[in-house]
Amino acid sequence: MNPEQLKGRSLVTLKNWTPDEIRYVLELSHSVKKAARTSTVHQRFVGKTLAMIFEKRSTRTRCAFETAFGEEGGHPVFLSTQDIQLGSKESVEDTARVLGRMFSAIEFRGFKQSTVETLAREAGVPVYNGLTDQYHPTQALADILTLQEIFGTVQGKKLCYVGDGRNNVARSLCVICAKLGINFTVIAPPELSTDRELLDECSQWAAESGSKIVVSSSLADVLGADSVYTDVWVSMGEEHAAAERKRLLSPFRVDEALMEKTRNPSCIFMHCLPAVKGEEVTVPVIEGPRSRVWDQAENRKHTIKAIMLATI
Ligand code: CP
Ligand code: NVA
Long-range contacts of 39-47 (CB under 8 A, 24+ apart): 41/71, 42/72, 43/72, 43/73, 44/72, 44/73, 44/309, 45/69, 45/72, 45/73, 45/74, 45/104, 45/308, 45/312, 46/72, 46/73, 46/74, 47/73, 47/74
**The ligand 2 atom nearest the CA atom of 238:** 8
**The ligand 2 atom nearest the CA atom of 234:** 8
Residue 89's pLDDT is 85
Tell me the CA–centroid distance for residue 220 and ligand 2, in Å: 26
Which ligand has the minimum distance to the alpha carbon of residue 303?
A: 1
What's the predicted TM-score (pTM) here?
0.98
Q: Which residues of the chain are modeled with pLDDT < 70?
A: none
- Check whether domain 3-135 has CATH 3.40.50.1370, yes or no: yes
Residue 83's pLDDT is 85
**What would the pLDDT profile of 220-268 be if each residue is shown by its tens digit?**
999 999 999 999 999 999 999 999 999 999 999 999 999 999 999 999 9
Which residue's C-alpha comes closest to atom 8 of ligand 2?
Answer: 235
Which residue's C-alpha comes closest to atom 3 of ligand 1?
Answer: 61
Q: Where along the chain do its domains lie?
A: 3-135, 137-297
> What CATH class does 137-297 carry?
alpha beta
The reply to whether domains 3-135 and 137-297 share a CATH topology is: yes
Tell me the CA–centroid distance for residue 135 and ligand 2, in Å: 9
Tell me the CA–centroid distance for residue 169 and ligand 2, in Å: 7
